[in-house]
Amino acid sequence: MNISTKGRYALRMLIDLAEHQNAGYISLKEIAARQNISKKYLEQIVPLFHNSGMLKANRGPKGGYMLAMLPEKYTVGDILQLTEGSLSLAPDADPDPTDCGQDTDLAMLPIWQGLSRVIKEYLDGITLQDILDQLQDHYMNNYMI
């Protein structure tokens, strides 16, 4: 499994929105500058999340985007599923096992399905709030005088 740039940037964008959720609507220009991501690239990602109801949008001079729900409602698994599609490790781990074609592929199917299930459970167990909490702990533990 390889997470694409789209998936990584989507996570960074949503983490940024979660970090700044008390600031109201955030422009893509601000997110792009903070995350060092092209605004054009973010413009390609935003519709996925806006159309799915994960983001709220506001047009105009004070416009931008914000999370539609609390950060604890967004899982890394949901975010990556939206950007990457299937998170399965093997192309034949999702469909009906009779479509595999070869006995060796059929024999390996339970392994790939099990591994895909473990990865999905792991990613579904991490929320944006968990990431924010880890970031806060990191900054608190790296305080210097």
Under a CB-based contact definition with an 8 Å cutoff, are residues 131 and 12 in contact?
A: no
pLDDT at 95: 47
Taking only the tens place, the pLDDT of each residue in 106-145 is 888 888 889 989 999 999 999 999 999 998 887 777 665 5
For 143, residues 6+ apart whose C-beta sits below 8 A from its C-beta are none
Q: What mean pLDDT is predicted for residues 39-53?
A: 95
At 85, is the pLDDT very low, low, confident or very high (cuts 50, 70, 90)?
confident
pLDDT at 137: 80
Taking only the tens place, the pLDDT of each residue in 1-45 is 688 999 999 999 999 999 999 999 999 999 999 999 999 999 999
Residue type, position 112, single letter: W
Over 50: is that where the pLDDT of 97 sits?
no
At 79, is the pLDDT very low, low, confident or very high (cuts 50, 70, 90)?
very high
Prediction pTM value: 0.83
DSSP state of 68: S
- CATH number of the domain that 136 lies in? 1.10.10.10
Query: In the chain, how many domains are there?
Result: 1
Under a CB-based contact definition with an 8 Å cutoff, are residues 21 and 68 in contact?
A: no
Domain span including residue 69:
5-141
For residues 104 and 65, give the distance between their C-alpha atoms in angstroms, rounded to a whole number: 48
